[in-house]
């Protein structure tokens, strides 16, 4: 079986999860771990069996034995680092959001296409089993024509981050993160909603706010998006770091039925004939980052489209940029955004 040499750039919180996936995949040879902090790069090398480590991503770009690179560094630097790798002929799995602005995102896409390599973005929530099953249900047509979708993601950021996490150095600094809860997890949900109903955003209206006094007010901690999609589908996406308790529900309403999924795993369909709700059993699946990495590696080996395309990632970012613009101007922003 063909195996690919894989490097990891960024050995922080999510980097460790990727290192595990790289170690465990049957398509990989772990080649290089890289972090600007030497001890982190070295620790990941030792723990997950990479052949070597470095503190300089340009060294990764120069190596002939590296085919694929996972970029797991703060959002502001995704473009600069990924572009260098794409120019050197590496396939790139970059963390979300693709970039912090549309110009950088487009440059990444252009570079990938010019170099004939694949660029995939880590929207792994598509592979949470209840959402994958929800996608199957929508695609089967059993809900009929989709009319509305409502999707929520929320958790208390101050309860999930430890004071020692290096993420704290950049997460609340919009110069590096690109924004607050919308940019951080909102992009996941703008991607999920597009993917679930297989439609694009054509208009976005949004509210953003800051509610928790313990979260730096440099960024928004809560946002609600009202979106028009192709075929006039209406969507609501709401996200928060300030509220307490949420099961990340996604509700999909069609002209023949309704389905509701959440995380960690409820899935119910309204059976219009019986007039009852039916619980659907959701089979456990692989850890979603691991699943996405394997799908990406297979897409490289078989020269197929990646599981999340660069254009998918551009469109999820575009919806978020439109939401910030709408919140500022208090008007609907039409998509695509043309500059």
**Order of all β-strands in the sheet with 4-9:** 52-54, 28-34, 4-9, 68-71, 91-94, 119-121
> Minimum distance from CB of 90 to ligand NAD (Å)?
14
Q: Are 300 and 67 in contact (CB under 8 A)?
A: yes
- Site for ligand NAD (CB under 6 A): which residue of 33, 100, 124, 130? 124
Q: In the beta sheet, which residues pair with residue 150?
A: 236, 251
- The span of 6-14, 107-115, 148-156, 268-276 binding ligand NAD (CB under 6 A) equals 6-14
In the sheet with 276-279, reading across from the earlier edge strand, the strands are 276-279, 267-271, 258-261, 250-254, 146-154, 234-240, 222-229, 201-209, 333-334
36 touching ligand NAD, by CB under 6 A = yes
Choices 74-82, 213-221, 269-277, 294-302 (CB under 6 A): range interacting with ligand NAD? 74-82
Q: Does 14 bind ligand NAD (CB under 6 A)?
A: yes
- Name which of 159 and 273 has its Cβ closer to ligand NAD: 159
Rg (CA), the chain: 20
Tell me whether residue 61 or residue 229 sits nearer to ligand NAD (CB atom). 61
Q: Which of 4, 6, 8, 15 binds ligand NAD (CB under 6 A)?
A: 15
Give the one residue of 4, 85, 92, 95 binding ligand NAD; rule: CB under 6 A.
Answer: 95
Cα(225)–Cα(245) distance, integer angstroms: 20
The yes or no reply on residue 116 touching ligand NAD (CB under 6 A) is: no
Which alpha helices (DSSP H) does the chain contain, by range?
A: 13-24, 38-48, 57-62, 78-87, 102-115, 129-140, 157-160, 174-177, 181, 187-197, 288-301, 310-329
Establish if 122 lies at the interface with ligand NAD (CB under 6 A): yes
37 binds ligand NAD, rule: CB under 6 A = yes
Nearer residue to ligand NAD within complex by CB, 101 or 148: 101
Binding mask 161-200 for ligand NAD (x = CB under 6 A): -----xx----------------x----------------
Interacting residues with ligand NAD between 273 and 292 (CB under 6 A):
none
Instruction: Please say whether the beta carbons of 216 and 228 come within 8 A.
Output: no
Cβ 59 to ligand NAD, closest distance in Å? 11
In angstroms, what CA-CA distances link 84 with 25, 52, 79, 81, 87? 25, 20, 9, 5, 5
246 neighbors 154 (Cβ within 8 angstroms)? yes
Q: Which residues bind ligand NAD (CB under 6 A)?
A: 9-15, 34-37, 40, 57, 72-75, 77, 81, 95-96, 122, 124, 166-167, 184
């Amino acid at each position: 079986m063909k195996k690919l040499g894989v490097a990891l750039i960024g050995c922080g919180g999510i980097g460790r999860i990727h290192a595990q996936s790289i170690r465990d995949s049957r398509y990989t040879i772990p080649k290089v771990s890289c972090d600007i902090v030497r001890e982190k790069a070295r620790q990941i090398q030792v723990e997950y069996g990479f052949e070597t480590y470095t503190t300089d991503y340009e060294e990764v770009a120069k190596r002939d034995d590296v085919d694929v690179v996972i970029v797991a560094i703060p959002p502001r630097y995704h473009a600069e680092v990924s572009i260098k790798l794409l120019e050197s002929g590496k396939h790139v799995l970059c963390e979300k959001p693709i970039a912090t602005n549309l110009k950088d995102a487009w440059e990444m896409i252009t570079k990938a296409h010019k170099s004939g390599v694949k660029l995939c973005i880590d929207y792994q929530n598509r592979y949470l089993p209840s959402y994958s099953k929800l996608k199957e249900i929508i695609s089967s047509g059993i809900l009929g024509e989709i009319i509305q979708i409502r999707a929520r993601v929320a958790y208390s950021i101050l309860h999930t981050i430890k004071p020692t996490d290096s993420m704290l150095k950049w997460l609340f600094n919009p110069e590096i993160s690109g924004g607050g809860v919308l940019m951080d997890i909102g992009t996941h949900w703008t991607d999920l909603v597009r993917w679930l109903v297989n439609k694009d955003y054509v208009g976005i209206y949004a509210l953003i706010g800051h509610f928790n006094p313990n979260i730096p007010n440099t960024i928004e901690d809560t946002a609600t998006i009202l979106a028009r999609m192709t075929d006039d589908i209406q969507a609501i996406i709401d996200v928060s770091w300030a509220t307490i308790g949420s099961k990340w529900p996604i509700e999909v309403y069609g002209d023949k039925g309704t389905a509701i999924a959440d995380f960690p795993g409820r899935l119910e369909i309204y059976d219009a004939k019986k007039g009852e709700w039916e619980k659907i059993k959701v089979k456990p699946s692989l850890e979603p980052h691991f699943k996405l990495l394997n799908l990406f590696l297979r897409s490289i080996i078989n020269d197929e489209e990646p599981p999340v395309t660069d254009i998918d990632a551009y469109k999820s970012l575009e919806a978020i940029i439109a939401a910030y613009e709408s919140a500022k101007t208090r008007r609907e922003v039409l998509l695509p955004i043309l500059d």
